[in-house]
Amino acid sequence: MQNDSKSGIRRNTLSGPGQHATIAVIGLGLMGTAIAANLVADGRDVIAYVRRPERVQDLEALGIQATTHLPRLFDSDILISMLPDDAAVRDVFFGSSGMADCLPSGAIHLSMSTISTSASTEFLREHEHRGQGYVSAPVFGNPDAAKARQLAIILAGPPQYCERCRPLTDALGQTFVVGNDPARANLIKLLGNMMTATSLEVLGEIITVLKKRGQDPQQFVDIMTGTMFDSRVHRSYGGRLIAESFAPGLTMPLALKDVRLALAEAERAGAPMPSVGVVRDRLITGIARGHGGLDWTALGLVASEEAGIGAVDH
């Protein structure tokens, strides 16, 4: 047993190789809940932290142990964070809760959040100072993909820690190991999101043109996705844009956060991204018009409104 001087809690040291690991999940939105539920379904020992007591019963109905008491996570071997931004991750692990200070040496923070490269480097340094592991594992995919174990997971960090996290990421989708520096995974995630964001903007504009010309946008999307643009992004989001299906997903404010992070990375590199600047302005417009609770597919709604097609109730 090991005594934690800060919390006064006595707890077991980290499980050794081959022993059953305890997994904690922090950030139980749609994505985090789907991830936790899949790990539980695999027979893993998972505990989830939520701030709101009313969430506990909902999560336990999915077989997920849930708690509002953060110290119950201090004995975990791997802590998965699926939090909205740099500040949220920093607050949970290095803020007043003292999470990082209460974890055992050798515990791993598996960060699946979409955050900046600078924050990722900062968190690596802080965990290394405490003898802990830090691995970035941001994901491509929406909540439906998470439920179906079809996430694309970009994994980067010290090899010994990536190896221990790999069985978890492989159980959630397809893992791409991109190196020893966690920040590399975060850069790939941000730039990949910009490919999706700009695709949504262009698809929204094209579908608006077709609607105003009295043409069938589904026919166009079927032709394009059956030939030159046979990608999951164009197939899935094309259908949602046509159906005006704007339930989140990734809400417009969170998409705007990702756009701003990507533009900051581009500025640091001295590489302009003018098309992403357009998306930033369109997201700001959508939020200003009251669409902030909608998915980033609502870029198509903004395109329609700009073309004089009235807003639809969503």
Question: Residues with catalytic annotation?
Answer: 189
Residue type, 262: A
Burial class, 136, CB count within 10 angstroms (exposed 0-12 / middle 13-18 / buried 19+): buried
What is the Cα–Cα distance from 181 to 171, expressed in whole angstroms?
A: 23
Cis amide linkage into residue 249, ω under 30° from 0:
yes
What is the Cα–Cα distance from 72 to 75, expressed in whole angstroms?
A: 7
What distances in angstroms separate CA 207 from CA 112, 202, 219, one per listed residue?
33, 9, 11
**3-class DSSP state of 233:** helix
Own/partner pairs, 201-204, CB within 8 angstroms, 24+ separation: 201/275, 201/278, 201/279, 201/282, 201/299, 201/303, 203/234, 203/237, 203/238, 203/241, 203/300, 204/241, 204/297, 204/299, 204/300, 204/301, 204/302, 204/303, 204/304
Instruction: Tell me the two tokens of residue 106.
Output: 């050798």
Residue 64's contacts (CB-CB under 8 Å, 6 or more residues apart) are: 25, 33, 36, 37, 40, 46, 47, 48
Sheet holding 22-26, edge to edge: 65-67, 45-49, 22-26, 78-81, 108-111, 133-136
What is the Cα–Cα distance from 179 to 191, expressed in whole angstroms?
A: 17
